[in-house]
Amino acid sequence: RDAAGPGGPRLQVTASLSPFVPKPFTPFQWEAQIGQDEIDRRVRLVRERFKGQKCLKLRWHEPAMSHLEGILSRADRRMADVVELAWRRGALFDSWMESFDLAPWLEALEECGISAEACIGAREPGAPLPWGHLEAGVSEAFLLTERERALAGRITPDCRYGACRHCGACDTAAGPSRLAGTADTADAATTRRNRLVFPQRDQQAHQPRRDAEGRLVCKSQRQEPPRIAAELVHKAAQYRFWHTKTGGSACLSQLELQATLERALRRAGLPLAFSRGFHPLPLLSFGRALPVGVESDAEWFALTLRRILPPAGAATLLAPHLPPGMRLRLAEFTPPGRRTEQAVAETFACHLAGPDADDLPARRFAAFAALAEAPFTREGKNGPRAMDLRPLLLRWAAAPHGGGVTFTLDWHMGYLSPLLFTLAVLCPKGEEDRLRPRLRLRKTGQIFEDGRVFPPSGNDAGNG
């Protein structure tokens, strides 16, 4: 029915359907996963029920992908050979449904002598498990107890707000944590973990309020955010860390980079400052997101700490925990209370591989630079968006040895993915599929409003 009366928007309900995959280190690691045919039957059953319902929308995980997820999740180290063999048979970008094909995986499994049914089959409690030699921080006895509770329909309350279940992850009076490197006095370690991993919260703050008839209260009566320790939200100093993003790190998306960096910061033991609100997070921000696959010599992230550390000291603590290809180049203080400044222009180096590409980039950039305007349309969140690309190109030059160019893009009039810009210049319609796999793009520097350039010309900035 209408959510806002006659003429108003119609109520739309979206449901998501995802087949259950029993994962290692969970209470269900001994359970069997249903087969692909049964997953497909259940998905089709629900889809049939949704047909003809204008206000209901169903999204579902493809049965074949769920089947493969279960195989990969519960196999032993022999699966490494299967992954390589499937890749050699064309299994690439399989997390995208339009590129997914189960056949190479099934062929690889058969060639390696591994049964898909055995991978997703039930396991006997107490029998050796392929992942049993790994330590995840929780004991098998705890998982078996939780399995019994789950099969009996009993809920285990969140230990942050309820009783400790002695799973083994934390240091408690019953014994130290099972995780290596956490040895400490029980009181000190528990206090530290509660403050850094589970900020102190009010249990009642997470209980939705209801009226006398059990209905949720209105927004004006919404509960207060959880309370966290005062020292965790203290902003003692702000920093900007400059780093590279090359090699394997260039394949990390912005979300993956953020998750990787948050783990590295915790491993480094830096005294992070947290935000307030219902979901406290480290005070961490980034420069413009770099397209996946594009390398860079000049990326940065901004960080707020609750204790003042020398920039070089903070960099020394963090550097060993960063992934390959992410090398710290400079750590510096930034003005407190201000957003970290963004560059107004950036420099890039572009190279096109192949024997026929000697002067192709230079010819295409020369033709583009000669244009009075370059209309370009791209799809945005609110539909097609038209813009003129020509003002973005400040200058360009051919690479000394051919096959590439260097160029500077101006962001005063708005930002565009540098990869999109480069493809628009180099790849007229019909050529992108041929040229895109041979293109290598790398950010080489950033230019700020006051004329500052990073990295400084002629030298590599060290940690300062």
- DSSP conformation letters of 94-120: TTSGGG--SHHHHHHHHHTT--HHHHH
Q: How many CA atoms lie within 13 A of 125 on its CB side?
A: 13
**Residue pair 463/330 in contact by the 8 Å Cβ criterion:** yes
- Encode pLDDT of 348-371 as tens digits: 999 988 776 778 899 999 999 999
pLDDT reading at 263 higher than 50:
yes
* Beta bridge pairs of residue 284: 303
CATH 1.10.10.10 matches 230-334:
no
274 near 282, Cβ under 8 Å? yes
Structural domain boundaries of the chain? Answer: 13-120, 140-198, 230-334, 345-447
pLDDT of residue 197: 46
Predicted model pTM: 0.61
The answer to whether 229 and 221 are in contact (CB under 8 A) is no
pLDDT digit string, tens, across residues 203-216 = 444 455 555 555 55
Closest CA to 316 of 236, 241, 237: 241
Residue type, 288: R
**What is the mean predicted confidence (pLDDT) over 312-328?**
96
Q: What is the pLDDT of residues 166-189, one digit of tens each?
A: 888 887 777 788 876 544 444 444
Cβ contacts of 14 within 8 Å, gap of 6 or more? 56, 57, 58, 59
- Can you read off the two tokens belonging to residue 219? 């927004």
Of how many residues is the chain composed?
A: 464
- Tokens 């991993």 identify what position? 197
CA-based torsion, 429, 433, 434, 435: positive or negative: positive
Mean pLDDT for the stretch of residues 458-463: 46
- Poorest-pLDDT segment among 11-25, 105-119, 219-233, 325-339: 219-233
Which helix (H) or strand (E) segment holds residue 238: the answer is: strand 237-245
Residue 134: burial class (beta carbons within 10 Å; 0-12, 13-18, 19+): exposed
Position of tokens 């019909």? 430
The average pLDDT across 245-256 equals 93
Mean pLDDT, the chain, rounded, equals: 84
Does position 372 have pLDDT exceeding 90, yes or no?
Answer: yes
Angle of helix 311-318 relative to helix 254-268, nearest 10 degrees, comes to: 100
Which residues lie closer than 8 Å to 368 by C-beta, 6 or more apart? 374, 389, 390, 393, 425
For residue 202 the two structure tokens come to 């009010």
Question: Quick check: helix, strand or coil at residue 399?
Answer: coil
Q: Are 242 and 461 in contact (CB under 8 A)?
A: yes
Q: Are 262 and 318 in contact (CB under 8 A)?
A: no
- To the nearest 10 degrees (0 to 180), the angle between helices 103-111 and 63-73 is 30
β-pair partners for 447: 345, 453
Say if residues 94 and 100 touch (Cβ distance below 8 Å): yes
User: Who's near 330: CB < 8 A, 6+ residues apart?
Assistant: 241, 242, 315, 454, 455, 461, 462, 463, 464
* pLDDT number for residue 104: 92
Mean pLDDT calculated for residue range 400-425: 91
Least confident of 143-147, 232-236, 320-324, 436-440: 436-440
The pLDDT assigned to 203 comes to 45
Collect all residues with Cβ–Cβ distance below 8 Å to 190 and sequence separation of at least 6.
170, 171, 172
**Burial environment of residue 293 by CB neighbours within 10 A (0 to 12, 13 to 18, 19 or more):** middle
Same fold, 230-334 and 345-447: yes
Q: Which residue has the tokens 């449904």?
A: 97
CATH class of 345-447: alpha beta
445 in Cβ contact with 455 (< 8 Å): yes
CA angle, residues 30, 263, 72, in degrees to nearest 5 = 30
Percentages (nearest 5) of helix, strand, coil residues in the chain: 30, 20, 50
**157 has pLDDT over 60:** yes
Total Cβ atoms within 10 A of residue 109: 22
Q: Provide the CA 112 distance to its chain's centre, in angstroms.
A: 32
